[in-house]
Every structure is written in structure tokens, then in C-alpha cells.
Structure 1
Amino acid sequence: MANKKKVAIAGLASILLVAMCVAVAVGVTKKSGGDGGSITTSTKAAHAICGSTDYKETCENSLASANTTDPKELIKIAFNATIENISGVLKQSALLKEAANDESTKDALSICEEVLGDAVDDLYRSTDKVAQFDVNKVNEYVEDVKTWLSAVITYQETCIDAFENVSGDTGEKMKNLLKTARELSSNGLAMASELSSIFSSLQLGNLGSRRLLSKEGRELYFKDPTDYAPGEEPQYVKKGRRLLSAWRPNAVVAQDGSGQFRKINDAIAQVPKKNDKVFVIYVKAGLYKENVIIPKGAHKIVLIGDGPLKTRITGNKCFAKGTKTFQSATVAINADDFVAKDIAFENTAGPEGHQAVALRVSGDRAVFFNVHIDGHQDSLYAHTYRQYYRDCSISGTIDFIFGDALAIFQNCKFIVRKPMDNQACMVTAQGRVDPRSQGAIVIQNSDIQAEPAFLATKPAIKAYLGRPWKELSRTIIMQSNIGGFIAPEGWSPWMGTFALDTLYYAEYQNRGPGSDLSKRVTWKGIRHINAQIAESWSGGRAFGGDFWIRAAAVPYVPTLMHV
């Protein structure tokens, strides 16, 4: 097997990852002879690369001007077509914003400008990742590209969502403007997803030891996550905890003046643009009333408090007072490789504030350990990319964990709070829209419970594990304790029969009075999974590469657990 793998790697060393399928298709047709040289033209190559996409005509049109069969160039042309299309939408958005008469429309267009700009950035870095292809890092490269292209799709959906409850036809205009961009983005994700299957069939998923770098620069080698027994915690993770605690803060925030800063945003402002080194901000005990924003490019921030009951960041922006859901977050993470530990994020708008986000995470590879996230409706906006939560507490009422990130929660508490009169509660509202998107909410070995005020209400309030925010909503709850207050049917519809056939909801090996499956809804989208499929949703499998969790030096089990 080892020799077979070496031969496969040697044969792939010079082939661009995201264009491998095209190179193979063109190579086969060359050998077949046929109708002379025409079979090797750029048109044939374009048809080959578009073969795995859902929007083939859009794909082929984007490559119509290509005069090459070089896979690298074809991929570059396809990505650039998407970039140009979204850039054109951004220009139209600016014109629409200038012509808008009401603040709600202007706010929606401002969100579009932000998230579509982020989408363009993700397309650029996907292109760069492809150009830097290293066959020894197959998993990392494929998962990065798939994650970033999934985010491109999510960002476009976020732009459209911003027009909810906005009068006029601007939202519909924006939706029409984004039609081609959404198809092009979906096509790019399809190409990347096809390659995952190719590499899997060649057994190239794990090419040697993975590594992480300690703060001192030493390389720590470790086994692949799948080599651990269920529930086993790797030894180096335990060492890693001490490593994190030993890091000295680059900035100290204290309300009593004992640090360099009194406000958290002032400390964040010290982080270099496009930061590439760990920057530790220690926030001493206190109640910090500020809306904290980790700006794009301020990567590798580690935010550490004195404990979630002592260090709390609080705000009260909400939809009821005119703030868009996306902009209501008390804390917004827009940079990559963010770590939060021993701290709390809170939105105090209350149930009457309607959508009021405590934490929005719009950065890749985010890690949260011993963090409290408290609010009511829409408490945690797990927006996009890859996110890991361990030993956290999240409270709320309606859809209080929502978004389209690939978010995995281990050993967390989900606390259902009392809503307003005539309201039911839903723990999750996942928002996947593309069949190949990475997005999913995975709750593992956690506790779904309710606060006393909820339980004391008469008549009893209905509560559900989740409902489908978007057509391909995907949530997996496994090895967790589910309280008896959860309705026997388990899941709630969003509106009528919307998404009931296309969603993906699964429960596996749960416990507690609310885990009884005998009276669950029987929608077509409800899945009954086995141990193998459940294992595929553990962190060591679902994330593809989990070095970033290990580097954060927090407890982590990459497999199913013994419960």
C-alpha cells in the first residue's frame, strides 16, 4: 500500500489540486485520437471542468474566452469570472445605496458591501491556495478551498438576508444581480468537492504526520485523529493547556487602570494589520459595556478573561431598535485564528429586542473555551467558516444558535430561556443553501437544558432542537443529554413544508428524557445514522484538518466519545 501511495503522489506532484479532474479528462481524450486535434481544444477542456457543476451553461460561458487547455489557467479564469461578477454587483450596490431613501435599505446595502467584499477576498485566497498546491498537504488544501468557497456562497446569502422586512424592491434587485455570481460560486465549490472524492479513492487523505508549531517554534508531531480510541484525549493536548497559560499577554485591559487599556477595542487597535503572530489580550475582571469588533486582518488574537462570571462584555443592539441582525453583535469576529478563553459575551436586549446577537463569528478557524454566550433570540451567529466550541454555555430563546458555519460543540451547555408570550423556542436554525457547502451545526456530548423560569411557566412552553432556516439546513446532535422539556416531535418546521424534504437532521446515541425518538417528526430529511456516519461528524473527520484546534491548546476529542 505504501508503494502504491508513493506512485500516486509522484504522478500528482505537478498537477494542480483543484484542476486534477480536468487534466485527467483532457489526457484521456488526447489518447483516444478521434476527430483530429479538435478534441483537445480549450472548449473540450472547459466542458470537462464544468462536468461536475450544477450550472453547466454558466460555467461554460465563464470559460468561453479561454484559449488554453492548461488546468491552472482554466481554474484561474473561472475564479476571476466570479470575482469580476461580484465586483460588478458591488458597484451596482454602491449606486443603489446612493439612491436609497430610507435608512433600512442603506443599512442592508452596507452589509452587502462588507460581505461581498469578503467574498471577493475569499475567492482571491482560494486562487492563491490552488497556485501553491503541495501534494503533501492534500487534506489541508482541499478543506481550505472548500471552506472558503462555502463562505463565498454564505456571504451572498447574507447580503440577500439583510433586506428582510425592508420595503421596496431593492432586495429583489440585489437578488437578481447576484444570480450569476451565486451560480459561479456554486460551480467552484462543485469542482473542489469533486476532487475530495478523487483523492479519497486514491487513499491520499492522510499523507504522513501532521504538525503544529508551539509558541517557541518547536514542532510537535502527533498521530492522525482517527488513530485515537473514542474518548481518548491525546497527551500533547494536556501539555498544550500549560503552553497557552504560559503565554504572556501583549496587552492588558482593566477598568481600574491597572492595565495598559481600559477598553477592549483600544487593545485590539494595537494588533498589526494582516497580523501573522499570536497576539494575547488579557481582559481583567469587570463588566465591559462596549461593542467589540475584531477587524478583518487582525488574525491570531487570543482573548483571555478571568472567567465567564467575572469578565463579561455586554451590549444591547437589536432588531427592534432598528439594527440589522448582522450588525447587532456585541462581539463580532471578522479575522482568522481567533481564540477566546474564560470570558463572556452578552446581549441584554431581552426577548422584546427580537434578533439581538451576543457573538457573531465570521472568521476561519475560531476556537472558544469556557466561554458564556448569553442572549435571547439569535444569541450566537455562527456565520461561516470553521468553528470549535468546548466547555461553553450558550443561552437563548428562538434560533439562538444559527448560521452556516461548520461549527462543532463539545461538552457545552445549551440553556433555553423563557421567551415572550405565545412564542416557542428553538435551539438551532442552521442555514446551508448549497448541497456541497461545508456548513453544519454539530452538538457532541453536550447538555440541552432549560432555565427555571422556562420550566415554571404554565402552560408549558414548546421547545425544539431546531428548525430549518434555509432549504438545506443541517444539524447533528449526538452523544448528548436532552432535557425532557424538548417537545416529543423534536424538530419544528419553519413555515409550512419549507425544507422538510431537503434538510439533514440527525440524532445519535443521545440520552436523557428528551432523547426518545419514538415520537419524532418523520420528515423525509430526518436521517437515522449509524456509528460510522456519526464518526464522520466528529472534529477529526469533519474539519479535514484540525491542527488549529490543537494549536489553541484547549481540551479536544477528535472522535466519538465513550458516554
Structure 2
Amino acid sequence: MGNNKVAVLSISAIVLVAVVATVAVTVSNRRSQSADPQLSTSVKNVQDFCRPTDYKETCENTLSSVAGPDADPKELLNLAFNITVKRIKDAIDHSTVLSEAAKDPSTSEALENCRELLDYAIDDLRRSVDRLGDFSVANLDKFLDDLKIWLSATITYQETCVDGFEGTTTDAGESMRKTLNSSSELTSNILAIVNNFDDTLSSLNLPINRKLLAEGYPSYVTPGKRRLLATSTADLKPNVVVAQDGSGDVKTIGEAISRVPNKGADVFIIHIKEGEYKEKVHINKSSTNVMFIGDGPTKTKITGSLNYIDGTRTFDTATVAVVGDGFVGKDLWIENSAGAAKHQAVALRVQSDMSVFYNCRIDGYQDTLYVHTHRQFYRDCTISGTIDFIFGDAASIFQNCLILARKPLDNQQNIVTAQGRKMRQQASAIILHNCTISADPAYYDFRTKLPTFLGRPWKMYSRTFILQSQIDDLIHPDGFALVR
């Protein structure tokens, strides 16, 4: 039996995908009649490949038109990726949306967001293909986790694109939804095959070591980053120091970010000294492994006030937006000061994969923290807000955090979380572990009149887990709100 396991572990990723397809076919054949012998080999191969998916018709119709007569699972998987990328590219240039955009400024802004989001989706698809090519036995668990996270994010980016048309006065949003429908289903189908592959390996009882946390942090946080997080500011050697009084290398955070090398493998440390920085901060996807360290969550403050009511799309309201992978934030205060009356106003939006926030304060009202996509970890942080103030579709973990509900408007109720999982295959959730959910002092006396709910099902397959946490008496007896 040991030799058999070694043999299974020695095959390549593509062969493993083929094994999954074969297992799926075998199981299905036990439950149904034999396939029609008159069907071509190509059609049979496509049907077998598509069997684990949720959108079989989309899968079969798309692949049957392009698959060769002897297409194997490897070829079909590559075709599925390539077709999905092409469909997303077609959506970017969708002529109907472009023509509608010329008539309405808000639609034009939503379209610009779509282009950015769909570029992110294509990037995650492409790196998923790259991951298939560098598979090895030693990192089997990482291989699977990466594929699930990146494919899940691809679905989320497409959904966020469509959500951005909410409130516009044209039919562009519905048009874009129809355009992206097939690419979303195709992405879900690829993810279903990966999930089925993982289930098959689990059934073989292979010795795969999968850890959620290592030494208090997710296993993806490298030993080097853990050491940096444990090191005092005085003992760090930053690459750039930001100080408003001129005592550092630069005076603004934006200037410091401009010095970050593209796709850097080493941690680039930016020390932001005490002060209030009124900046819109954006760390783009090419700025990887950046670390922001402040002088404390009551001393180093990054603040802004962009909001939906004054004309900014929710996605663009973030005071700080972090896209580049591997970001670390420590000892910071990030705020959107727009207030409850301005509705959606994001303080922090995070897409950075394998990101960590430690001892940070994140303040706002509606939509304070946008945990948009990928893997995120928050430890010993304080997050405050009113409606949906922790929302998004990342695989996000909050540990030892203080979650503070603030006073909403008189006609509102508070909702702590709004998780955005659209499809059941996605590897995403909001997890609160060993946290305290409590009332801000200014809200305390209003907690009965203006109740707070733990969460709501923002999307069809939303999921939030609250584990070993203290929940104070501000929470409505129903716990979760049913309104989507």
C-alpha cells in the first residue's frame, strides 16, 4: 500500500486531473446506463470531463465545438482556461456597454472599474495555468489551495464588475451580466474539477499535511515575515521612512510606494511615522511583499472621506486599497471619516493574497472593511462600523479582534458581516475566531432601538463562521438578518 501511495504522488498535476475525471466517470457509470456507442470519442471525452461540474451544458457546448477527436483531460483543461480568458476579454470590449457608457457618466465609471476587475480576473486565471505547470509532490497542499483561491477570486471579480452598475440609469449592468454569464460558469466548472480532484485525493487517505495556522499565523506567512511582525519598530531597518515633519526619506505615503520595486520577492519595509496622513493610498498588483509599519494604531493615521453619496462608486471609495500580494500592515490606523449619512464609504479594501494585518485599527461606518478576494489574516485588530462593515468574498480570518458596532442613522440597523460567496464551489468565507463583538460607547444606549445583526447573506452561498468569540448584548436575538 505504501508503494502505491508513492506511485500516486509521483504523477504530474495533469495526470492527476485525468485521474479525477476517470474517477468521476467510473462513479457515474455505476449509476447510469452505458454511454451511447455511437457518440464520437471527442464528445465522450468532453462529457466525461464535464461530469463533475455545476454547469454541464455550458461546459459541453463550449468544449465540444473546439476539442479535437482525441482531446484528453489535459487538453480540455487548457482549452477551458483559454476560452474563459477570451470570454472575459470580449466582455471588456463589449460594444453595448461601451455605447451606453457614452450616455451616462456613472456607467462610464462602472465600466472603468470593470476593466480593472476583469484584468485581475485574467491574471488569476493565467497564474492558475502556470501553477499547473510547476506542480510537485512536495507542495501538493499549496498547489490545491492556490488554484482554489485564485479561481474563486476570478469569479468574484466578474461579480464585482456587474455589481458596480447598481444605481446607474442605463441597461448596461444587465447587458454586462449576460456577457459575463458564460465566463463565470466556465470558471466555476474549472473550480469544480479542482475541488473534485481534491476530494479524490482525500478519499485515498494520502499523507498530505494541511495546516490552517502555524505558530499563530496562517501557514502561508513565511518565517521571515513572522520575525518582522515580532520585531519592534526601533529594531527594524526600513527601506523608506515617511515623516510629515521632514525627518524621514519622504513626506507622503504615495512617495514611499513609488520606490517599491516591481514584483519584489523580498519584504520592502515602509515605516510611517506618527501623524495624520490625508491620502488615498493604492498598492498596485506589481507592488508585492510590501510592509507598512506605523508608530501605533492611535498614532499613525491614514484617513480619507470618499463615499457613494457624493458620487464615488463603492469600489473606489477606499482610503487604502491593497492589491499586491504578500502585504503586511502593522500598528496602523486606517479610516474613512465620511460618516453614516454618506452610506458606502470603505476605509480599507484588500485583494492582496496571503496578506496580514496585525494590531491595526480600521474605522468607518457602512462598508468599513472590504475583504474583497484571496487569503487574508487579521490579528489583534479593531474594526468599527455600522452596515456590512466587514464585507467581501475573501478567505478571511479574524483572530483576537475587537469588532465594534457604531451608532447608525435612526432608520437603519447594524449588520457586522456581509459575505459575498456567489457560487458553491468557491473557497471563501469570513471567519471570526476568539473575537469580541461589542458596542461602541456612543451606540451602547441605542442598541435595543437600533439592533445589530451578526451578518446577512449578501450572495447566494454566503457563509460566515463565528467561533469561540464573545458576543455582547447588542446582537438581535435572531442573530443573522435574512435580507439579502
The 2-side partners of 1:311 and 1:13 are apart by 49
Question: Once the 2 structures are TM-superposed, how far is the Cα of residue 5 of structure 1 from its aligned partner?
Answer: 3.0
Percent of aligned pairs sharing the same letter: 48
Alignment match, 1:52: 52
Aligned twin of 2:436:
447
For residues 248 and 178 of structure 1, the distance between their equivalents in structure 2, rounded to whole angstroms, comes to: 46
For the 8 Å contact 1:275–1:299, the answer to whether it is kept is yes
Distance 1:307 1:38 in 2: 71
Secondary structure of the equivalent of 2:442? helix
2:120 aligns to what SS in structure 1?
Answer: helix
Asked whether the equivalents of residues 376 and 417 of structure 1 are also in contact (C-alpha less than 8 Å), the reply is: yes
SS of match in other structure, 2:124: helix
Instruction: Measure how far apart 1:8 and its partner are.
Output: 2.7
Are residues 1:9 and 2:12 paired? no
Letter of the 1:411 partner, please give it. N
1:393 maps to which of 365, 373, 382: 382
Contact 1:330/1:359 (<8 A) preserved: yes
- With over 3 angstroms needed to count, the CA separation of the structure-2 counterparts of 1:226 and 1:455, relative to structure 1, is closer
1:59 maps to a residue whose letter is C
Of 418, 428, 444, which aligns to 1:429? 418
Question: 5 Å matches for 1:23-62?
Answer: 41-62=41-62
SS of 2:360's equivalent in the other structure is strand
Q: Normalising by the residue count of structure 1, what TM-score does the alignment of the two structures yield?
A: 0.78
* SS of residue matched to 2:464: strand
Alpha-carbon distance between aligned partners in 2 of 1:4 and 1:78, rounded to the nearest angstrom? 31
Alignment of 1:325 onto 2:314: yes
On the 8 A contact 2:24/2:51 being kept in 1, the answer is no
Give the whole-Å Cα distance in 2 for the aligned partners of 1:472 and 1:458: 29
Does structure 1 retain, via aligned residues, the 8 Å contact 2:271–2:293?
Answer: yes
How far is the alpha carbon of 1:227 from its aligned partner? 9.8
Q: Which residue of 2 aligns with 1:267?
A: 256
TM-score (norm 2): 0.91
**Equivalent residue in structure 1 for 2:367, among 378, 382, 403:** 378
Partner of 2:197: 195
Distance 1:107 1:248, change over 3 A: same
Say whether residues 1:167 and 2:169 are aligned partners.
yes
CA contact (8 A) 1:26 1:44 kept: no
Matched, 1:79 2:81: yes
Equivalent position of 1:543 in the other structure = none
- Map 1:48-447 → 2, pairs under 5 A: 48-64=48-64, 65-67=66-68, 68-92=70-94, 96=98, 99-204=101-206, 206=208, 241-242=229-230, 246-447=235-436
In structure 1, what residue type is equivalent to 2:43? T
Distance 2:293 2:136 in 1: 35
Q: Residues 202 and 226 (structure 1 numbering): CA distance in 2 closer, same or farther, change over 3 Å?
A: farther
Greater relative CO (CA pairs within 8 A, separation 6+): 1
RMSD, aligned CA:
2.7
Q: CA deviation at 1:128?
A: 0.8
What's the offset of the Cα at 1:445? 0.3
Matched, 1:490 2:479: yes
**Partners of 1:324 and 1:196 in 2: CA distance:** 38
Q: 1:387 to 1:90 in 2, by over 3 A?
A: same
CA shift for structure 1 position 355: 0.2
Q: Is the 8 A contact 1:53 1:190 kept in 2?
A: yes
Residues 1:288 and 1:97: Cα distance change in structure 2 (over 3 Å)? farther
Q: Cα distance, 1:4 vs. partner?
A: 4.8
Aligned length: 470
Q: How big is the shift at 1:334?
A: 1.0
Q: Is the 8 A contact 1:17 1:133 kept in 2?
A: no
Shift of 1:84: 0.6
Distance 1:19 1:359, change over 3 A: farther
Deviation at 1:433, TM superposition (A): 0.6
Matched AA of 1:139 = D
Letter in structure 1 aligned against 2:199: S
**In structure 2, C-alpha distance between the alignment counterparts of 1:267 and 1:25, rounded to whole Å:** 52
For 1:88 and 1:46, the matched residues in 2 are separated by 24
DSSP-derived class of the 2:331 partner: strand
